């Protein structure tokens, strides 16, 4: 599947919004609050909002995906936090053809939308065609995919090339199925003229376990249980999702004003009282260094021995200490949760003498390079500044002087996207939990070009990427993508560093929480002790 030109921009801009939106000091109030008389069971979730819309065809921000997962069902989903195998949702079964070009899905019978009308094959075709052709942020998910109704219970999705990632893409909440009749009555179309967003921000046109009760992009979203939901009834009658800065999230969950805090750093979750549950797991975000391969940008960083010196000179264990408990070293660009990730024993290790030898072999004498990164961006509560300072100190020991160049995210992002950074410190999070999303790091692809790595620059790696893209079957794909990353680590301009920890704190009463790399948390899975 083709790589995405806008992906990292969306993720990075989203992360900035997440950081910025959490900077206010106010805590929006819930109506009734947890345990209020007559309110039924209410779950209060505090998070730093990155939210633009409740329209599934337009949403691509982390908070929007939490809402979308609760309100809209997709054809396929994942079981808890396991992203290695898609499982049925609105589709009761699916089958990928031997050539990987045709995905056939049988629809589950008895599913209904919030107004009681049945979910039909026509709704599926309309919903997915709308996402693809409306050209909103998530439209790339279905690039080159044709969606057709074979009969009243069968959907066929056809791609021009083998597309083994498609079953892993379909669980994305942006591909939630909407009530097409209701949506059309309120301005929905399958082109750029669509006018349904305002309606979908205030009303529920999905078949999910929850409906929208109120929706405010800057303060609070309230969901109420869908009485017409055809599946297992959720444990909570209402879910209140509030926009709260991280420090206040910590206070709220400690004093019982909320039951879930989603955005705490490793430092903030240290020393939490025993009455609270702390879930620490490596996030699916991979922080990496890039060394620009364009000689017009740098005379230093295209040197393969220089890149080797940097790779061997980094103190990965020290970076993990900065990132805190729950973090893990990234052996390759594919994170540990996703098929094809390299095993931990293949991760790079610090070798100062080896780094010095590589630098000597490079022919460069006491080189100085500029390292750019976004100054105000945080990922999973981790700032880029201390990471950059640690890299600077590590490489000084090797004989490389690093000139730190922090910049506002808009400036840094522009230089990064246009391939102008000599060295860069960035991160990549999955659009969907499939290894094909990481072919973006190859020459001529999205991230490759950001490192000045043009098509044709590394034929062996490019051929391995092409082979992986068309490989079918889990075992064969795992081996193919491991091969791509091994070659990328040996001769590419990227140095994977760490996967920072995702820290989620919950009240003792909350059960069933699993971190998910796409929608963070499925609120309908949460139970009550």
Per-residue DSSP letters for 49-75?
Answer: -----S-TTT--SHHHHHHHHHH---S
Quick check: is 5 in a domain?
Answer: no
Say if residue 410 is in the same domain as residue 432.
yes
Say if residue 82 is in the same domain as residue 214.
yes
Say if residue 363 is in the same domain as residue 432.
yes
pLDDT value at residue 1: 35
What does the block give as tokens for 161?
């090339």
Say if residue 249 is in the same domain as residue 315.
no
Structural domain span for residue 308: 286-499
* pLDDT digits 0-9 by tens, 156-212: 999 999 999 999 999 999 999 999 999 999 999 999 999 999 999 999 999 999 999
> From CA 21, how far away is CA 220, in angstroms rounded?
12
Say if residue 119 is in the same domain as residue 149.
yes
Q: Please check whether residue 283 is in contact with residue 266, taking contact to mean a CB–CB distance below 8 angstroms.
A: no
> From CA 438, how far away is CA 160, in angstroms rounded?
20
Quick check: is 2 in a domain?
Answer: no
Give backbone dihedrals phi and psi of 265, rounded to 5 degrees, phi first.
-80, 170
pLDDT value at residue 304: 97
Residue 95: give its domain's CATH number: 3.40.190.10
Reduced 3-state DSSP string for 259-321: CEEEEECHHHHCCCCCCEEEEEEECCCEEEEEECCCCCCCCCCCCHHHHHHHHHHCCHHHHHH
What does the block give as tokens for 368?
């100085």
Say if residue 300 is in the same domain as residue 193.
no
Quick check: is 271 in a domain?
Answer: yes
> From CA 426, how far away is CA 498, in angstroms rounded?
11
Sequence-separated (6 or more) residues with CB below 8 Å from residue 286: 330, 333, 334, 335, 427, 428, 429, 496, 497, 498, 499
Say if residue 152 is in the same domain as residue 274.
yes
pLDDT value at residue 23: 30
Say if residue 376 is in the same domain as residue 518.
no
Residue 442: give its domain's CATH number: 3.10.105.10
For the chain, which ranges sit under pLDDT 70? 1-40
Say if residue 423 is in the same domain as residue 511.
no
Structurally, the chain folds into a number of domains equal to 2
What does the block give as tokens for 85?
């195998």
Closest CA to 446 of 478, 494, 479: 494
> From CA 181, how far away is CA 279, in angstroms rounded?
41
Quick check: is 7 in a domain?
Answer: no
Say if residue 456 is in the same domain as residue 411.
yes
User: 């309100």: which residue's tokens?
Assistant: 71
Note the pTM of the prediction, 2 decimals.
0.85
């Amino acid at each position: 599947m083709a790589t995405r030109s806008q992906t990292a921009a969306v993720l990075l801009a989203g992360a900035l919004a997440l950081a910025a939106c959490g900077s206010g000091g106010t805590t929006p109030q819930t109506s009734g609050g947890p345990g209020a008389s007559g309110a039924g069971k209410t779950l209060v979730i505090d998070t730093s909002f990155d939210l633009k819309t409740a329209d599934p065809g337009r949403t691509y921000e982390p908070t929007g995906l939490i809402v979308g997962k609760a309100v809209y069902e997709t054809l396929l989903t994942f079981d808890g936090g396991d992203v290695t195998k898609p499982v049925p949702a609105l589709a009761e079964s699916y089958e990928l053809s031997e050539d990987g070009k045709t995905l056939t899905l049988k629809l589950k019978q008895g599913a209904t939308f919030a107004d009681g009308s049945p979910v039909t094959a026509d709704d599926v075709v309309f919903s997915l065609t709308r996402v693809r052709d409306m050209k909103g942020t998530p439209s790339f998910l279905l690039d080159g995919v044709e969606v057709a109704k074979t009969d009243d219970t069968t959907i066929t999705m056809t791609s021009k090339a083998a597309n083994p990632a498609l079953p892993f893409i379909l669980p994305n909440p942006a591909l939630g199925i909407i009530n097409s009749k209701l949506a059309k009555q309120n301005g929905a179309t399958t082109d750029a003229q669509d006018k349904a967003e305002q309606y979908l921000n205030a009303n529920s046109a999905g078949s999910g376990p929850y409906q929208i009760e109120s929706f405010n992009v800057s303060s609070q979203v309230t969901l109420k249980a869908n009485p017409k939901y055809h599946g297992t009834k959720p444990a909570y009658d209402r879910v209140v999702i509030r926009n709260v800065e991280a420090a206040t999230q910590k206070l709220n969950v400690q004093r019982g004003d909320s039951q879930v805090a989603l955005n705490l750093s490793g430092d903030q979750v240290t020393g939490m009282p025993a009455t609270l549950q702390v879930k620490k797991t490596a996030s699916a975000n991979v922080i990496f260094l890039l060394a620009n391969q364009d000689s017009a940008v740098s005379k230093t960083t295209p040197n393969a021995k220089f890149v080797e010196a940097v790779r061997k000179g980094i103190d990965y264990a020290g970076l993990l200490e900065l990132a805190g408990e729950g973090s893990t070293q990234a052996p390759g660009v594919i994170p540990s949760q996703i098929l094809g990730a390299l095993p931990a024993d293949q991760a790079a290790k610090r070798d100062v003498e080896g780094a010095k030898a590589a630098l000597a072999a490079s022919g460069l004498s006491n080189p100085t390079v500029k390292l750019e990164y976004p100054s105000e961006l945080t990922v999973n509560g981790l700032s880029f500044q201390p990471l950059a300072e640690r890299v600077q100190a590590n490489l000084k020991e090797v004989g490389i002087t690093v000139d730190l160049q922090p910049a506002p995210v808009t400036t840094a992002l522009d230089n990064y996207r246009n391939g102008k950074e000599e060295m860069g410190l960035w991160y990549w999070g999955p659009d969907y939990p499939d290894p094909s999303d990481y072919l973006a790091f190859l020459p001529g692809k999205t991230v490759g070009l950001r490192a000045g790595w043009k098509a044709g620059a590394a034929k062996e790696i490019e051929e391995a990427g092409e082979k992986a893209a068309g490989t079918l079957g889990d075992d064969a794909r795992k081996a193919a993508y491991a091969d791509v990353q091994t070659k990328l680590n040996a001769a590419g301009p990227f140095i994977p560093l760490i996967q920072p920890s995702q820290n989620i704190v919950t009240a003792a009463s909350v059960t069933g929480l699993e971190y998910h790399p796409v929608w963070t948390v499925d609120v309908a899975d949460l139970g009550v002790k």
